[in-house]
Each structure stands twice: as C-alpha cells, then as structure tokens.
Amino acid sequence: MDGLTIGKLAARAGVGVETVRFYQRRGLLAQPERRGSGFREYTEDDQQRLAFIRRAQQLGFTLTEIGELLGPAGPAGPGEAGDVMAAAQAKLAAISEQIRELAEVQCRLRRLVRVCAHGSSADCIALHLGERGETEMAGGVAS
C-alpha cells in the first residue's frame, strides 16, 4: 500500500487533508519525505496511526492524551496495550464522574422547574437571583 498521497490517506480515514496536516503539526503523524514522484507518500503505518487517532478521538481522548499514547510520530504504532488500557480506564472513570455531576445538575433543574411551575413567582428562585444572591443557586434549589 506504499505510495498513498495525502489526499488518498485523508480520504481513506474520512478526514480532510488539512486535518492530516494539523496532526502532523501536532506531532501525531510524521511528514514523510518526498519520493521519486515528487509527492509525499504515506504508508500502511501512517494509515493505521491515523485510524488510531480517529478512534481515540471518538472515545473522548484529547489530542494531548492521544499523543501520549502514541509517542513521537514515526514508524512505531500505539504504545503498549497496558498503557492503552490504563488510559481507557482513566477516561472511563472521568466520564463516570461527569455523568454523576450532570445527574446532580439535572436533579436540581427538575426541582427548579417544579418550584417555578407549581409555586408563585415569589417561590421561583430563578426570579430572585438579584435579591437572594447566586449562592443559593450554587447550593441547590430550595423545595
């Protein structure tokens, strides 16, 4: 599969050429030397590395985290399986915490909606932020 141009590499990965160039600037992909054709030619390793980057992004990894997993751009692939597993476990824990925090916010908002929908306007704390202060909102909604 040697000999892929940047356009073909990008198309196979489902990204734009500028995305490939961006990954190169970030050090996630190496920029190959020009070959006899005058074009830069990408390899199977480049395609696999690009596919790894895209899959990791879809799983919520940042480009910095992906760079740490991949190591310097070059022929080497992603790090050890143990490193990938540890990073995935850490990402899973972070997402679980975000879900917990969002569930708390959801609960507070439901209480606010109930108070505002079924109480008087005086009961709706959202209408009294200027009078009662924002600290009440930060601590939760009174029911």
Residue 132 is encoded by which pair of tokens?
A: 């009662």
**Single residue among 79, 111, 131 that ends a domain in this structure:** 79
Residues 21 and 65 in one domain: yes
Residues 75 and 106 in one domain: no
Tens digits of residue pLDDT in 46-93:
999 999 999 999 999 999 999 988 877 655 555 577 788 888 899 999
Which range of residues forms the domain containing residue 112? 80-143
Domain count, the chain: 2
The percent of residues above 90 in pLDDT, for the chain, comes to: 47
Residues 32 and 75 in one domain: yes
Residues 98 and 140 in one domain: yes
Would you tell me how many other CB atoms lie within 10 Å of the CB of residue 3?
11
Q: In sequence order, what are the beta bridge partners of 4?
A: 42
pTM: predicted TM-score of the whole model, two decimal places: 0.66
Which residues, in sequence order, are CB contacts of 85 under 8 Å at separation 6+? none
pLDDT of residue 100 exceeding 70, the answer is yes
